[in-house]
Amino acid sequence: MRIVIALGGNALLRRSDPMTTEVQRRNVRVAAEQIAPLAADHDLVVVHGNGPQVGLLSLQAEAYRGAEPYPLDVLDAGTQGMIGYLVQQELRSLLPARRQVATLLTMITVDPEDPAFAAPAKFVGPGYDRDAAAELAADKGWTFHQDGSAWRRVVPSPRPQRILEIEPIRWLLARGAVVICAGGGGIPTMLPASERGELLGVEAVIDKDHAAELLAEDVRADLFVMATDVDGAYLGWGTPEQRRLGRVAPEELAAHAFAAGSMGPKVEAAARFAARSGRRAAIGALADITKIVAGEAGTNVIARTAHTRTAQEWTAQPRTEARTAEARAAQERTAQERTAQERTPETRTPEARTARERAARAPAARPRAVPRERPASGPGTEGAR
């Protein structure tokens, strides 16, 4: 099977943990030990969260008074490299030397009209008590929401639209690599309306589960797993009547409400993937991932037409030629050739390329959601970032 596994930021850095490299490495090692055995029989794509880590980097950047603070898209890219490196290193230590593991910086476009820009809701960074949060809000202009007993910073979380590096991801998978990508939901970017001109970074954090769901669709995953620090999605969470959902259809989930900042995005992503692909999505504890893959643990979201499939059918490795790495590579080559054929001959001429380059350098209209601006050149601006 081809499996996309989304690791929650809190699975890699628990709420009570100090945000040190050694603690994160220890937690990543635990995650890698759970994931590595799956690589023997399955194609794997790993997506990780970054909520605690991007908040930490933001605080570190704010502490340096000699330069303008780093924007969120750059911090997102930083966490992709930082966490991706730890995951890649630990997986390489556990997998055969011939099995390649690659971390790919991944940009994902967002809609400038997304209503999330007007209503920040994505938790980032550590928790504070009420007084400390109020002081930071007044000092830095940040928005805080309550998360359990603590207060945490919230930032816009627009929906992912398109994964710009999807072709390299498919290429690596077709050649047998374990791919770590779309970390932290991807680096949020915007393209001008014409899709020509400068690619712009955005002050936002894309929800990792929604980005992973889009990725699972794009790579035609057979199974989409969201591994977190609880063993599934619960109804009545925190009450005496709480109960874990076992197998459920996407439409059944729509009748229930889940916490917007935690389980809500996971449930929504699972329902979307199952409904659109007809394949299984699952939510559960990282420690149970082998059982989750077997359909024996977690909350399993399955389209009604697929409910009759057994756990053995879910986990059986397909034997047809279409499932081999060679067939996958051939399919990808065919898709690339089809894309090339759809381009008119004029778009491939040197003159057309020159025209496109001129258009790309032309100023683009500013989108509604104001992206990060680069500092203007001139005296006193060099080295300001």
Find all residues with CB under 8 Å of 24, minimum gap 6, and list them: 12, 13, 53, 83, 86
Q: Does residue 122 carry a catalytic annotation?
A: yes
Q: Does residue 9 carry a catalytic annotation?
A: yes
In the three-class reduction of DSSP (H, G, I as helix; E, B as strand; rest coil), residue 129 is classed as coil
Residues 160 and 110: beta-carbon distance below 8 Å: yes
Among the options 27, 49, 122, 232, which is catalytic?
122
Compute the distance between CA of residue 235 and CA of residue 257 in angstroms, rounded to an integer: 8
Find all residues with CB under 8 Å of 376, minimum gap 6, and list them: none
Using CA atoms, how far residue 199 sits from 196, 240, 364, in Å, is 8, 50, 10
Among the options 266, 284, 295, 300, which is catalytic?
266
Q: Pairing relation of β-strands 107-110 and 160-163?
A: antiparallel
Residues 300 and 274: beta-carbon distance below 8 Å: no
Among the options 8, 10, 27, 78, which is catalytic?
10
Q: Does residue 140 carry a catalytic annotation?
A: no
Among the options 9, 185, 201, 261, which is catalytic?
9
- Diameter of the chain by CA atoms? 70
The upper half-sphere exposure of residue 185, i.e. CA atoms within 13 Å in the direction of its Cβ, equals 34
Among the options 125, 184, 186, 208, which is catalytic?
208
Q: Does residue 291 carry a catalytic annotation?
A: no
Compute the distance between CA of residue 134 and CA of residue 130 in angstroms, rounded to an integer: 6
Compute the distance between CA of residue 291 and CA of residue 298 in angstroms, rounded to an integer: 8
Task: Compute how many other C-beta atoms are within 10 angstroms of the C-beta atom of residue 102.
Answer: 16
Q: Which residue has the tokens 């898209």?
A: 73
In the three-class reduction of DSSP (H, G, I as helix; E, B as strand; rest coil), residue 373 is classed as coil
Estimate to the nearest angstrom the gap between the alpha carbon of 13 and the chain centroid. 16
Query: Which positions are catalytic?
Result: 9-10, 122, 208, 266
